[in-house]
């Protein structure tokens, strides 16, 4: 991304600044107090913690949100130790980065060792983490906070990923089909997950979960300061998260109290909404009965 400077951003004369890129979020978190623009961003410490999957996963376990072990793999001996402790299959992924970077399901030692060796051949300093494989639903939770208070949130299940066959893990970080859910346990665990990283959340926190064999949602990562890329579709369903974010930046923007713009803090979107999107296809939003709320015809989307 382009090199940023406080002077360059201030010279733009903007009222607010937000980033979807990890590097940009970290920069805003570190320099927000020097900017004329408001950011509603978590602290630099919290953003750095959330972007380090090893340290974040340790926090999840300290908060008793996960009971399985997590391993940091920095050399071949780490692969052996993780395999001996976790057994097969286990999950490997990059310590840093988005889009399911470096992810693979390892079903035997040859797979695990070969996967690590491939990445180390490209970058000897590449770190992995290894965890137990979680077989349940792939869940996500979007939330907006203001000075420690939850403003709005909703959960969804990821059903299909974009071009899954292009990645050994079958996950490419971006879902093509997802459906909103109402799940009280997910809401409870999600709030505890955010609070495990930040005692006074401020701004956006997007949380990934995978259910274990008992249906318990295990947190896998938190994107502090960033929306999910599907958040814009929530506008078509009645809740514009970026509008809420803007309203919280400045009292002058409070044309209406936020509690009049949303019906519920938890599960602020109806259950059963289905998001569909893909490369070179128009996005599509369906309600629980299959009625089109946003986008073109379902037949057009499938044909595309």
pTM: 0.91
- CATH number at 138-303: 3.30.470.20
For the chain, give me the number of helices (H) and strands (E)?
A: 9, 12
Q: What per-residue confidence (pLDDT) applies to 117?
A: 97
Dump pLDDT digits (tens) for 68-81.
999 999 999 999 99
**pLDDT given at position 270:** 94
Residues 6+ apart with CB under 8 A from 24: 1, 4
Examine the pLDDT at 293 and tell me if it is beyond 90: no
The pLDDT tens digits of the residues spanning 245-276 come to 888 886 544 445 666 667 789 999 999 999 98
Q: Would you list the domain boundaries of the chain?
A: 138-303
pLDDT of residue 191 exceeding 50, the answer is: yes
Q: Are 229 and 162 in contact (CB under 8 A)?
A: no
Range with the poorest average pLDDT among 12-21, 161-170, 236-245 = 161-170
Query: Per residue in 65-117, pLDDT tens?
Result: 999 999 999 999 999 999 999 999 999 999 999 878 999 999 999 999 999 99
Mapped onto helix, strand or coil, the DSSP state of residue 256 is coil
User: Among 98, 128, 115, 111, which Cα is nearest to 25's?
Assistant: 98
Report the C-alpha gap between 191 and 201 in whole angstroms: 10
The torsion angles phi and psi of 34, rounded to 5 degrees, stand at: -100, -5
Q: What is the pLDDT of residue 2?
A: 61
């Amino acid at each position: 991304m382009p090199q940023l400077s406080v002077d360059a951003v201030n010279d733009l004369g903007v009222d607010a600044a937000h980033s979807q890129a990890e590097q940009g979020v970290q920069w805003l978190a570190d320099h927000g107090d020097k900017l004329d623009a408001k950011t509603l961003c978590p602290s630099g410490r919290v953003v750095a913690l959330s972007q380090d999957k090893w340290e974040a996963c340790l926090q999840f376990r300290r908060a008793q949100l996960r009971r399985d072990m997590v391993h940091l793999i920095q050399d071949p001996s780490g692969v052996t130790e993780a395999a001996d402790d976790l057994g097969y299959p286990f999950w490997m992924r990059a310590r840093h980065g988005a889009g399911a970077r470096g992810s693979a399901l390892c079903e035997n030692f040859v797979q695990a060792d070969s996967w690590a060796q491939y990445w180390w051949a490209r970058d000897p300093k590449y770190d992995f983490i290894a965890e137990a494989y979680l077989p349940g639903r792939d869940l996500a939770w979007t939330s907006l906070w203001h000075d420690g208070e939850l403003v709005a949130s909703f959960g969804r299940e990821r059903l299909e990923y974009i071009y899954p066959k292009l990645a050994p893990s079958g996950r490419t970080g971006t879902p093509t089909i997802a459906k909103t859910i109402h799940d009280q346990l997910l809401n409870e665990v999600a709030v505890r997950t955010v609070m495990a990283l930040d005692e006074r959340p401020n701004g956006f926190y997007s949380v990934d979960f995978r259910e274990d064999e008992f249906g318990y949602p295990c947190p896998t990562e938190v994107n502090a300061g960033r929306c999910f890329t599907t958040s814009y579709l929530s506008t078509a369903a009645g809740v514009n998260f970026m509008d809420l974010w803007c309203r919280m930046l400045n009292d002058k923007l409070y044309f209406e109290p936020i509690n009049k713009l949303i019906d519920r803090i938890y599960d602020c979107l109806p259950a059963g909404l289905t998001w569909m999107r893909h490369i070179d296809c128009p996005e599509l939003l369906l309600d629980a009965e299959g009625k089109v709320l946003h986008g073109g015809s379902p037949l057009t989307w499938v044909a595309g």
